[in-house]
């Protein structure tokens, strides 16, 4: 059984001071669970300060997105090499919010290019992260219409095929895939643990069939994970951890989720 990985996705929340205060409130408790891998993904401007705060702990630092080129005329972007400067070890890629899919809040078509993530850009970003030895956390997941139309499994397979194109299983030693049904993100509507386990198994089976050597990949569940449901989710045989949004902003909630792993 692999070690569980609990990643906190803080999204566009918390000033630097608030981020430090939250870490201060949970660090001692989480340090007692050395058997669980923990990553905090704050907004970019928190990275330098949190690097200072976290480097003596077993809590890793993650980013929420990245561009795939090292440097150049790409206004507003940030490269894996820049993340490395602050010892960023993990990076979320292809989050449904970067893909312009906010569940009930699907964005207007005219704004899609602002978010603009496709399976192709997920693939470019994932390859760039691997090149720089930063562990990708690649997100996949269906929206509510796709689920209601019975297309969940095919949507996941297409996202895996596109996002992981030309990446060998042997390259995926430090790697996570997060199953995040779009309809469960930020809605309080958690996926039924058995169904989450089924889709995580589908991802595992896809890897066995298509990416030999990728046995070490951890498969996470994300979407309204909180302390009241984390134990049941994290004890499913095919769920190796959680990507936690809203509940990771609260020190006590996040601590309890880590303790339940
Ligand atoms: P949530 O977000 O836990 O607030 O649903 C999860 C995510 O977006 O990664």
Q: Of ligand 1's atoms, which has the minimum distance to the CA of residue 246?
A: 4
How far apart CA 22 and CA 261 sit, in angstroms, is 20
Sorting pLDDT into bands at 50, 70 and 90, what band is 2? confident
pLDDT at 1: 64
Please write the tens of the pLDDT for every residue from 194-217.
999 999 999 999 999 999 999 999
pLDDT at 111: 82
Q: Tell me which residue has its CA closest to atom 3 in ligand 1.
A: 245
Please write the tens of the pLDDT for every residue from 250-261.
999 999 999 999
pTM, to two decimals: 0.96
Catalytic residues: 95, 180
Ligand 1 pocket test, pick from 234, 244, 247, 248 with the greatest ligand atom count within 8 Å of Cβ, gives: 244
Ligand 1 pocket test, pick from 190, 223, 224 with the greatest ligand atom count within 8 Å of Cβ, gives: 223
Instruction: Report, as an integer, the average pLDDT of 153-177.
Output: 98
Q: Length of the chain in residues, anyone?
A: 261
Res. 62: pLDDT tops 80: yes
Sorting pLDDT into bands at 50, 70 and 90, what band is 241? very high
CA of 71 to the centre of ligand 1 (A): 30
Q: Tell me which residue has its CA closest to atom 9 in ligand 1.
A: 245
Sorting pLDDT into bands at 50, 70 and 90, what band is 135? very high
How far apart CA 130 and CA 15 sit, in angstroms, is 29
Per-residue H/E/C for 82-143: HHHCCCCCEEEECCCCCCCCCHHHCCCHHHHHHHCCCHHHHHHHHHHHHHCCCEEEEEECCC
CA of 89 to the centre of ligand 1 (A): 20
Res. 106: pLDDT tops 80: no
């Amino acid at each position: 059984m692999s070690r569980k990985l609990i990643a906190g996705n803080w999204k566009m929340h918390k000033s630097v001071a608030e981020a430090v205060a939250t870490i201060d409130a949970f660090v001692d408790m989480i340090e007692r669970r050395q058997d669980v891998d923990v990553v905090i993904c704050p907004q970019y401007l928190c990275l330098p300060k949190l690097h200072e705060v976290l480097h003596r702990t077993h809590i890793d630092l993650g980013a929420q997105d990245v561009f795939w080129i090292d440097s150049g005329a790409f206004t507003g972007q940030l490269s894996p090499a820049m993340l490395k400067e602050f010892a960023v070890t993990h990076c979320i890629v292809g989050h449904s919010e970067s893909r312009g899919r906010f569940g009930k809040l699907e964005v207007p078509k005219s704004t899609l290019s602002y978010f603009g993530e496709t399976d192709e850009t997920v693939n470019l970003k994932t390859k760039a992260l691997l090149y720089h030895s930063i562990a990708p956390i690649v997100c996949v997941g269906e929206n509510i219409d796709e689920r209601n139309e019975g297309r969940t499994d095919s949507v996941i397979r297409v996202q895996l095929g596109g996002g992981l194109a030309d990446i060998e299983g042997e390259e995926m030693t430090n790697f996570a895939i997060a199953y995040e049904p779009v309809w469960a993100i930020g809605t309080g509507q958690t996926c039924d643990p058995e169904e989450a386990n089924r889709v995580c198994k589908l991802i595992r089976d896809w890897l066995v069939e298509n990416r030999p050597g990728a046995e070490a990949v951890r498969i996470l569940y994300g979407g309204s994970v909180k302390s009241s449901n984390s134990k049941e989710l994290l004890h499913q045989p095919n769920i190796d951890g959680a990507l936690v949004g809203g509940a990771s902003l609260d020190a006590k909630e996040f601590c309890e989720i880590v303790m339940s792993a």
